[in-house]
Amino acid sequence: MAKIFLDTANLDEIREARDMGLLDGVTTNPTLMMRAGTADLKANTLKIIEMVDGPVSAEVVSTDTDGMIAEARDILSWAPNVYVKIPTIPSGLKAMKEISSWPNGRRINATLIFSPVQAYMVARAGASFASIFIGRLDDAGLDGMEVVRQTREIFDIYGFDCQVLAASIRHTQHVTQSLLAGADIITLPFDVLQKMSRSPFTDAGLQRFLADWEKVASS
């Protein structure tokens, strides 16, 4: 079964998604922290962890291998369900290789993936999640979902122990297509999660049923 994560650092959104009963984890990044109005990565991540049992990803801001490793050591010590997000760049791959050799080090979410070969590299480097940025590929006139499909196929052919994470989701069609492409995890902005349970046709149909019932009940 595909898991649903929320792609936000906003505590109100996380609480609401949790109460809907459809929250398997949370992904954050520096932009989402900025939108949530916090620069305290640890404090905000710990608040998220209080609400979520599943994986919660927090991203490093260093770009050199040693800096990423030092940040990862700290982030991974916060809680057993915290994952460290590392960018898919050469220094990040080196960091992933080192971090994944630690006893608690498989909790790596490799981020900013835009091609199947990047996904292959992070799987080889020991990441547990490969985050493919579908919407940003589509924005650039490319086919984001094709990267998810090809990555799925490659991971299956070689039996990689790395989950395909569909990220940068823009609309509900991306969710449907990610499910059909065999993504293991889909991380959603809150508005997409809300739209998934609604259709204007459902609202119109319900209105009609209630109006008809009113007619017969009051006759």
**Residues of this chain that bind ligand G3P (CB under 6 A):** 7, 27, 29, 133, 135-136, 167-168, 187
Shortest distance (Å) from residue 187 CB to ligand G3P: 6
Is residue 85 part of the annotated active site? The answer reads: yes
Element (H, E) at 187: strand 185-188
CB-nearer residue toward ligand G3P: 49 or 192: 192
Shortest distance (Å) from residue 179 CB to ligand G3P: 17
Tell me the C-alpha distance between 69 and 84, whole Å: 10
Shortest distance (Å) from residue 73 CB to ligand G3P: 22
Residue matched to tokens 């924005």? 139
H runs (alpha helix) in the chain:
11-20, 30-35, 41-51, 65-76, 90-99, 116-124, 134-139, 144-158, 172-180, 190-196, 200-217
Query: What residues contact 86, with CB distance under 8 A and at least 6 apart?
Result: 59, 60, 68, 72, 92, 95, 96, 99, 108, 109, 110, 111, 127
Shortest distance (Å) from residue 169 CB to ligand G3P: 7
Catalytic residue among 3, 42, 47, 85: 85
